Structure 1
Amino acid sequence: MNKVITEGIVLMPPAFSDGLDVWSSGDGTPGSDTYDGAINAAFVPADADFSGCLELQKTDSTQQLRHMGQTPLLPGCYLQIKVRIKAVSGALPSVRIAAWAGGSGNGHVGGVVETGPTTSLTSYGEVVEISAIVGTGARGGVDMTWGRSASYGHMGLDLIGANGGVVRVDDIEIVDITSAYLRDMLSLVDVTDFGAVGDGVTNDAPAFEAADDAADGRRILVPAGEFYLGDTVSLNHQVVFEGTVTMPTDEMLLLTKSFDFPTYAAAFGNEELGFKKAFQALINNADHDSLDLAGRKVSLSGPVDMQAAVPNKTSYATRRVIRNGQIEAQSGAAWDTETVTSQATYDPSDSRTLSSVANIANIPVGALVEGSGVGREVYVKSKNTGAGELTLNAPLYDAAGTQVFTFKDFKYMLDFSGFSALSKFGIAEVELQCNSYCSAIRLSPAGSVFSLEHCFISRPKDRGISSIGTGCQGILVDNCQFLSAEEAEDVSDRSSLGLNVNANDAKLRNNRITKFRHFALLAGGNNTVAGNHFFQGDSVAGGVRTAGLILASTYCSTTISDNYIDNCFIEWTNEQDPTPDFDTGFSFSSLSITDNVCLSGDVAPWFSYIVIKPHGTGHFLNGVTVSGNKFRSINGNIDRAERVDTSFSDLDFSRSKNVFFAGNTYHNVDALVANPLRIRHEQSSAATTWTVDPGNALPFGGRSRGVDSVIALGAITTSGGSSRHAMPYAELEQGSAKDQVDLVWEEAVRGEVQLTMRIDK
């Protein structure tokens, strides 16, 4: 680039032959003395070395020579001032390029260097060439750096040293040598050309903004150095970082045309910090809906407090996504679980509060709560230190009174719990590589529609995704893989969990989950769990298995369909009910389990694929569909596909309603249960009462509360062989288990009937 050529700017001063009235013996400003008619200056038209030159006698301690014209200095331009000079007689002076820096309103720009290197003249008649470079930026080789405040200069030279000597000076040359500094003048704008210093101290934010204003479609170059940005900087052009930037946490770097993780990593010279600042920009920039990791890996030395990275936001509800890369945890003490024990009091009437909490200041928000009568996945949602109260994400089922609780604060790679609410946030095509050091994601206490799509959560130490409040409302987890760190452990030794959900409307679809203790705990309603493969087996002969999917709400309104449920089971419980005995409501209701593949291998015979575990008395089935499932056990039979875990209580089968358990297939399962259940009963000896026993074929061991039909298969005869056409009546809930039906005839008869009985009304 050369402004003389591209913009027609005149840089070269006039020749001395044109007159000395434009050459000042002062600073060159209007009104200063000139050499026109001066007794110590004259134009020499012919010289052996110079075609025409100025002969000047040194009479002042600093003899100045300045062109009175204003030589323009534009941002990004670098001018070389060059002079040929020789001593003629008298004392030998020293010489240097010198200038006067002018700026706005023709005022002097102070505090800048206005002289070049000094050269001593050591002999008479020897032509010496001196030069210096003046420019806006502190580049290598620039002798006079004037910054952006200077817009022009009065250029010339100084004679210093002893007085009395006479020199001859050839015409002064000024040329644009900017091309010596910019490698590609057509595409790059360098921030140093606009005053950026890069010393790590000076606030270079104005220079960055000025470079962006001047870029006009070109790229911005941040050269080697450390550039401190004391203010938020928004760059609307592509930017290339060879140097790095530093800035306060609450100030932002908004790269609207280079918004991706590799650029931020280069800008801050650190992957972890670059990721935080890129996330900060994502939440504060309307120009981009997603942060592209560009296939790069982000290495984290400790948990990322996502809200602390954006101190100007405590909540957010605009769609934003982090996509396309890997986030990996590096070994370090920062991931260690923090464990606190504390005495607290629980009152079921205030079911989500722990009160009179000792040592409350040391209990972190987001910590898992453990103690007697505490269900799974109960977390501290918030705390009021002054009141000594903790708010929990879920009630406790049997913890009334005062006891010592344990609080475990797992460390998460991406921790959103600092936001009061976060909605419409997503992560897509990202692997969260926990490396057994940490957990993956902790959600905000409130918000909706967090989404995880085509992601891997690999080897989390404790949890994949934890919800400590209602930030899981409407959560979408699709086409993801949850890869356990406990695959080598026996089932009984595992403790990790894929995710938990407290709020409603969860969608878990087409995921693959390997060998956690549990895949998911869903405490809300209206859930869809479809197309997933979750497996949790081990190599222990006749081994135990844990729940893959836990439903922790009696009225769950949930569909579980088309899953591959492999060596684990569905557990339906009310362990987050503060008053677990049934008193009102719908009890265990509104669940559909359809078209799943359920497989187990080498398990204990009491293993079942569907387990209901009531924590209080009086509960019953009320609207349950189990159909189209394939139940298969290998390497040994199991007793039944479904059962009630009576560790705390049993179901009240006298109240079962709207239970449909049909169309399932059984292989190596002893009890082929169904409801309605079709049974053939053959009475070989004549009797007035035929007792029809379903064996173990009524679902969950329910009662015989209804008969849909009775039809004779062949003749019904007396003991003498006479046919009878009378119909029997049915007496329900017979036998010690109340699962039998008595068919009562008007006389003693024998024969075979097909009966359809049911456990509901």
Structure 2
Amino acid sequence: MNMAITDGLTLMPPVFANGLEVWANGDGTPGSTTLDGVPTAAFVPADADFAGCLEIVKLNATEQIRYMGETPYRPGMYLRVTARVKAMSGNLPNVRIAAWAGDASLTHVAGLVETGPSVALAQYGEVVEVTAIIGSGQRGGVDMVWGTAPAYAHVGLDLTGPDGGVVRIDDLRVEDVTVAYLAQMLGAVDVRDYGAVGDGVADDSAAFAAADAAAQAQGGEVLISAGRYRLESNVSLASPARFVGTVEMPASARLTLTRNFNLPAYADAFGDETEGFRRALQALFNFADHDALDMGGRNVDLTAPIDVHAVVGTRDSSAIRRVIRNGSFYLRDSAEWADTVVTSQASYSASDPKRLSNVADIANVPVGALVTGAGVGREVYVTSKNVGAATLELSAELHDAVGTQNYTFRRFKYALDFSGFSDVSRVVLADLEFQCNSLGSAVMLPPAGLIFHVRDCFFSNMKDRGITSTGRGCQGMLVDRCQFLSREQQLPVSARETIAINVNANDTKIRDNRAVRFRHFVVSGGAGHIYAGNHWFQDDHEPDGIRTAGLVLTNTNVKMLINGNYIDNSFIEWTNEHDAAPEHSNEYSFGGLTIVGNIFTAIDVAPWFSWLVVKPYGAGHYIHGLNVTGNTFKSLNGSINRVEKVDDTLAALDMGRCRNLRFEGNLFTAIDQVTVNPVTVQMDQATDAKTWVVAFDGYLPFDGRARNVENIVMEGEIRNAAGDGVYAYPFVRVERGTDGDAVEVVWPEPVHGRVHITGRVDAPN
């Protein structure tokens, strides 16, 4: 780049042969004494070495010679000023290039270096060339660093040292040598040309802003050349930026790269992927021009959790779509991943069901900690705390904890931790991998928010959890096409502790995911969820092995669809463990669940294993809305008793109140007792009897009671003892037999024959 050519600048002063009236015996500013008519200066038209030259007698301590015209100067420009001189007689002086710096208002720019290196004239008649470079940046070979303030120069030279010598000076030469500095950086504006120092101490923020403005005007990029640049305030670059050097900033200051907003650029800027990611994340949540941070396929090593709220620094909530995509996080061993564990005494009352009060040592109880203790269900977390009031707010109710006891609070550590925010919505994590290496967990959601979306991500070897919700930040959450790999795959099922996902709020969509050998795939509170197309499996190599629930439902009326999943060596457990008053009262009981079109598989399990287990935590509950249709159930290496059951460890279901239960159109392989409702059985009565007892023999779901008869169809004639046909229609008595799973068909007289009778475990709606 040569501005003399590109901008049409005239740099060369006129030759001395054109007259000395434009040359000053001073600084060159208007009003300076010119050399024209000065008896100690004259033009020499012929010289053995110079075609024409100025001859001057040095009479002053510093004899100044300046061109009175304005030699243009621009930021980013480098000018080389050259003079050839020789001593003729008298004392031998020193010579140096010099210039006076002026700004656009014709005012002197003070504080700049305005002289070049001094050269001593050693002998008479020897031609000596002196030179100096004027430029805006602190670059190699630049003698006078002028920054961005000057607009022009009065160029010339100084004679210093002993007085009385006679010196001849050839015509001055001024050249644009910018190309020497920018030959490999065409189209780039170097921050050093705009005053950046790059020593890690001086604040270069203003220089970055000035270079960015120049790059925008030129349509080029900002070059951050070699160095360590300290930026004390926010810097936003609207031009593309290329980092050879690096920057450092206080935590409160932000670097925003609007034209190349991606992790590779930030990693180059800060010289480190981890710090680069933090800074890019900070910019993502504080700047509206970009909705997505592309990690460019880069890996970020983490030796400590990333507290996203602390990194962002300036806001407690966000409702604008923000995407982090296309990269990986690799957890490295350090003490920062260790769980924080506190045991404290606290009190619980069912009248305030999501609060612990009178919490001892509450200041040390971490927000986001998992709560365990007597009467505490699975995946209950500390959502917030009030130290002054000694209270903790919980993510779910406790089912049997009224009174005072000791609780354990365990705070897991997460690669990305959003819990410091009050409310965050519309965050998307896409195409990411979390390599947790059994050191930490992956993602903790904010305590409140909507539509957190995780898609096409891999979660591997989490120490404790994959995705954790400690409050309502999972409302409407979407988890699509992710893979969750447990660190406990080689352990027996009974020894596993890790959980892939938990949910507290409503309306999540968990779709097309794969989860391998966790204790639980999802612990699901709330309602309105859709689980579709997932494959979760939890087997081990133990014969007749214990299996745990893949999907745990912790509320009764769930309004939920479980559709098209591959439920492998695990089961669906339906509880009400997040209910402070688990006994049934004036509320909906177990209902609103649709299980359609799933594949259920088990291998090497004990006969008492079942794929659907209802476990009431209090008495009086019943089923009032369950649809299990179109599923395939298959057991390998041994059969199982039945596909569904009630776990009555704490309480039984009241099957006498069952309503709206459909269990039909399913396929069974290696299941001792198939389950159907409504179910049609064939009754053959060989001897004459007025009352026929029809047993449904376990067909009804949950070994329930035969509460209704939908239909009776006689096959062939019903005959009496005389062999005559009996055409009267019988009536029925339901819920007969020891277990209430039989019905009585009552005829007007003793008869024999065959009927098909359809019974139900539930009452009409």
**Correspondence for 1:74:** 74
Structure 1: which 5+ runs fail to align? none
The aligned counterpart of 2:396 is: 394
TM-superposition CA deviations, 1:682-724 (whole Å, max 9, x none)? 2333333222222222101211111111222333334554443
Q: Which position in structure 1 is the counterpart of 2:684?
A: 682
> Matched residues in 1 for 2:152 and 2:197: separation?
20
Shift of 1:79: 0.2
Report the equivalent of 1:520: 522
Partner of 2:28: 28
Give CA deviations for 1:593-651 in whole Å, capped at 9, x if unaligned: 01100000000111100011110111110011001111111111111100011111111
**Amino acid aligned to 1:235:** L
1:750 offset after TM fit, Å? Answer: 2.8
> What amino acid does structure 2 have at the position aligned with 1:691?
V
Helix, strand or coil at the partner of 1:47: coil
1:550-600 per-residue CA deviation (whole Å, 9 max, x = no partner) reads 111111000001110000001111000010011012210110001100000
Name the CA distance, whole Å, in 1 between partners of 2:600 and 2:483: 19
Alignment of 1:702-717 (within 5 A): 702-717=704-719
Which structure 2 residues correspond to residues 634-673 of structure 1 after superposition, within 5 A? 634-673=636-675
CA distance in 2, matches of 1:721, 1:602: 54
Out of 128-137 and 685-694, give the one that drifted further.
685-694
1:104, CA displacement in angstroms?
4.4
1:326 and 2:328 correspond:
yes
What is the correspondence of 1:620-639 to structure 2 with a 5 Å cutoff?
620-639=622-641
**C-alpha separation between the residues in 2 aligned to 1:154 and 1:353?**
79
2:65 is equivalent to residue 65 of structure 1 = yes
Query: Residue 471 of structure 1: SS of its match in structure 2?
Result: strand
User: CA separation in 1, counterparts of 2:86 and 2:597?
Assistant: 101
Structure 2: distance between partners of 1:598 and 1:224: 62
- Find the aligned partners of 2:37 and 2:707 in 1 and give their Cα distance: 129
> In structure 2, how many angstroms separate the alpha carbons of the residues matched to 1:273 and 1:183?
32
For 2:611, the equivalent position in structure 1 comes to 609
Structure-1 separation of matches of 2:141 and 2:398:
73
Deviation at residue 49 of structure 1 after TM alignment? 0.8
Residue identity matched to 1:429: D
**TM-fit CA distance, 1:139:** 0.8
Deviation (angstroms), 1:656: 0.6
| Other-structure match for 1:275 | 277
Written as runs of structure 1 = structure 2, the 5 A alignment for 1:45-56 is: 45-56=45-56
Q: Give the partner amino acid of 1:245.
A: V
Residue 237 of structure 2: aligned partner: 235
Q: Distance in 2 between matches of 1:751 and 1:673?
A: 26
Name the structure 1 match of 2:470. 468
Return the alpha-carbon distance in structure 1 between the equivalents of residues 166 and 229 of structure 2.
Answer: 48
Amino acid paired to 2:545: G
Aligned partner of 1:166 in structure 2 is: 166
RMSD: 1.4
What is the CA deviation profile of residues 448-474 of structure 1, one whole-angstrom value per residue up to 9, with x for unaligned ones?
001111111122111110011111111
User: After the TM superposition, which residues 407-418 of structure 1 pair with which residues of structure 2 at under 5 Å, given as runs?
Assistant: 407-418=409-420
Deviates more, 1:491-500 or 1:148-157: 148-157
Tell me what 1:357 maps to: 359
Q: Provide the C-alpha distance between the structure 1 equivalents of 2:364 and 2:532, rounded to a whole number of angstroms.
A: 41
Aligned-pair CA distance for 1:248:
2.1
Secondary structure of 2:388 counterpart: coil
1:204 equivalent in structure 2: 204
After superposition, what is the alpha-carbon deviation per residue over 1:524-555, rounded to whole angstroms, capped at 9, x for unaligned?
Answer: 11111111111110110000000001111111
Q: Deviations over 1:156-191 (max 9, x none)?
A: 112222222221111111110000000246422211
561, 564, 567: which one aligns with 2:566: 564
Q: Quick check: 376-385 or 184-193, which moved more?
A: 184-193
The match for 2:702 is 700
Secondary structure of the corresponding residue to residue 101 of structure 1: strand
**Cα distance in 1 for residues equivalent to 2:529 and 2:7:** 68
List runs of 5+ in structure 2 lacking aligned partners.
Answer: none
Where 1:279 maps in the other structure, the secondary structure is: helix
Picking from 728, 731, 738, the partner of 2:733 is 731
Q: Deviations over 1:646-669 (max 9, x none)?
A: 111111111111111111111111
Secondary structure of the equivalent of 1:265?
A: helix
SS of the residue 1:649 aligns to: coil
Instruction: Give 3-state SS (helix, strand or coil) of 2:347's partner.
Output: strand
1:17 is aligned to 2:17: yes
Q: How does 1:412-451 map to 2 (within 5 A)?
A: 412-451=414-453
How many angstroms does 1:275 deviate by?
0.8
Q: Which residue does 2:586 correspond to in 1?
A: 584
Q: How does 1:132-281 map to 2 (within 5 A)?
A: 132-184=132-184, 186-215=186-215, 216-281=218-283
Distance 1:517 1:503 in 2: 21
Counterpart of 2:381? Answer: 379
Amino acid in structure 2 at the alignment position of 1:203? D
Partners of 1:721 and 1:6 in 2: CA distance: 120
Partner Cα distance (1:492, 1:181) in 2 = 69
> Partner amino acid for 1:619?
H
- State the alpha-carbon separation in 2 of the partners of residues 77 and 412 from structure 1: 50
Equivalent position amino acid for 2:318 in 1: Y
Partner of 1:753: 755
Quote the offset at 1:355 in angstroms. 0.7
CA distance, structure 2, for counterparts of residue 166 and residue 655 of structure 1: 122
Report the secondary structure of 1:713's partner residue: strand
- 636-645 vs 328-337, which deviates more? 328-337
Q: How far apart in 1 are the matches of 2:579 and 2:518?
A: 25
> Secondary structure of 1:17's match?
helix
Q: What is the rounded CA distance, in whole Å, between the counterparts of 1:569 and 1:342 in structure 2?
A: 34
Distance 2:170 2:596 in 1: 98
Q: Distance in 2 between matches of 1:196 and 1:587?
A: 70
The one-letter amino acid of 1:77's match is: M
1:115-137: CA deviations, max 9, x gaps? Answer: 11111111111101010101111
Letter of the 1:82 counterpart: T
> What SS class does the counterpart of residue 169 from structure 2 fall into?
strand
1:287 deviation in Å?
Answer: 2.5
| Equivalence for 1:307 | 309
Of the structure 1 ranges 426-435 and 593-602, higher mean CA displacement relative to structure 2 is found in: 426-435
- Distance, in Å, in 2 between the alignment partners of 1:345 and 1:97 is 85
Match of 1:207, SS state, is: helix
Q: Secondary structure at the match of 1:654?
A: helix
Between 305-314 and 717-726, the greater mean CA deviation after superposition? 717-726
AA matched with 2:514: R
**3-state SS of paired residue (2:75):** coil
TM-score, with length taken from structure 1? 0.98
Distance between the aligned counterparts of 2:43 and 2:735, measured in 1?
A: 131
CA distance in 1, matches of 2:723, 2:544: 52
Structure-1 separation of matches of 2:461 and 2:219: 45
Partner of 2:501: 499
TM-score (norm 2): 0.97
Identity percentage over the alignment? Answer: 53
Post-superposition Cα deviations, 1:367-405, rounded to whole Å, max 9, x if no partner, equal 111111001111111111111111111111111111111
In the TM superposition, residue 24 of structure 1 has moved relative to its aligned partner by: 2.2
Q: Which amino acid letter does the alignment assign opposite residue 214 of structure 1?
A: A
Q: Partner residue of 2:483?
A: 481
Give, in angstroms, the shift of residue 114 of structure 1: 1.4
Take 1:155 and 1:347, find their aligned partners in 2: how far apart are those partners?
Answer: 87
Match of 1:366, SS state, is coil
Greater Cα shift, 52-61 or 530-539: 52-61
Partner SS state of residue 269, structure 2: helix
Q: Distance in 1 between matches of 2:702 and 2:280?
A: 54
